[in-house]
Structure 1
């Protein structure tokens, strides 16, 4: 089996990665996203007594749902970033790089502020900043690629849901 067609066109093993699309932005975005995800995951401890004792709303899903949801969301962030990079001008690329760096930093910082610092209030503050950052990233990608933008919408929606969960915990915890 050959990876590249005789005409130098599309890949048979990886559709959509033909001669017209550059693969390096996808790899760079994937590395950035995995780094942020790993940096945040180090701080998470859903088995700690502190976390188990927090008053959580009835509508909070079980702990196993979070990594199950985050995995495809992280994949779509990387795909969106790679695709948008390939469709963007040089100026738009720099804006995208800045917006994603801030976004992924806030994404990882939430885990550290909520779990490692044991501060739902700080987690809520970071979550609100992440929501604003998501809107900025969506606006930035929308200038270059609508499909890349659409791929980010579930991520933004999940973050808004996480913000609501954080707010509910802060509101119901008398110790805070």
Structure 2
């Protein structure tokens, strides 16, 4: 019996990792040419180098998956359906940003969307915190990075009116 429960937990964690990295892959697909595009943009002096985004996002997606798994393992969608649905919604909004910014060059829309994303992450962290303090806390680095990314989006959008609408 314990082995079955452990197997279910491991499969659950693997499932959440797959979901989070599917969103990452959707964003990565949109950002195939992002490196060249990012280098061509006027960026503030404090903007990180392009190579840093991949490792940071990898860590954040792992933390997100663990966070969702911690909430899921306490009763699945049956008991935490609204919290997990909110998580999945914010994850889809997360994936959309890359398309808005790097593919469609919609700086203003990308900025508005990342503000919405930040609010959704905050809401998800609060709902997760009520179920598991660790799960809520694991979303705080993500919240902080998206806050930074929102300021960076604003600065790049305003600094590149000829490229970003």
Larger Rg: 1
Task: Give the alignment partner of residue 106 of structure 2, picking from 103, 108, 119.
Answer: 119
Runs of 4+ off more than 3 Å: 88-92
CA distance in 2, matches of 1:74, 1:47: 20
Residue 34 of structure 2 is aligned to residue 46 of structure 1: yes
> In structure 2, what is the equivalent of residue 105 of structure 1?
92
With the length of structure 1 as denominator, give the TM-score of the two structures: 0.82
| Higher RCO (C-alpha under 8 Å, 6+ residues apart) | 2
Is the Cα contact below 8 Å between 2:35 and 2:50 reproduced in 1?
no
Q: Which moved more, 1:164-173 or 1:110-119?
A: 164-173
Cα 1:120–1:100 change in 2 (3 A) is same
CA distance in 1, matches of 2:116, 2:135: 22
Cα 1:58–1:40 change in 2 (3 A) is same
CA distance in 2, matches of 1:73, 1:162: 13
In the alignment, structure 1 segments of 5+ residues that lack a partner are: 1-6, 10-17
> In structure 2, what is the equivalent of residue 143 of structure 1?
130
Where do residues 6-85 of structure 1 align in structure 2 (5 Å cutoff)? 8=2, 19=6, 22-44=9-31, 45-48=33-36, 50-85=37-72
Give SS of 1:52's match: helix
RMSD (Å) for aligned C-alpha atoms: 2.4
> How many matched pairs?
162
With the length of structure 2 as denominator, give the TM-score of the two structures: 0.87
Offset of residue 26 of structure 1: 1.3
Greater helix proportion: 2
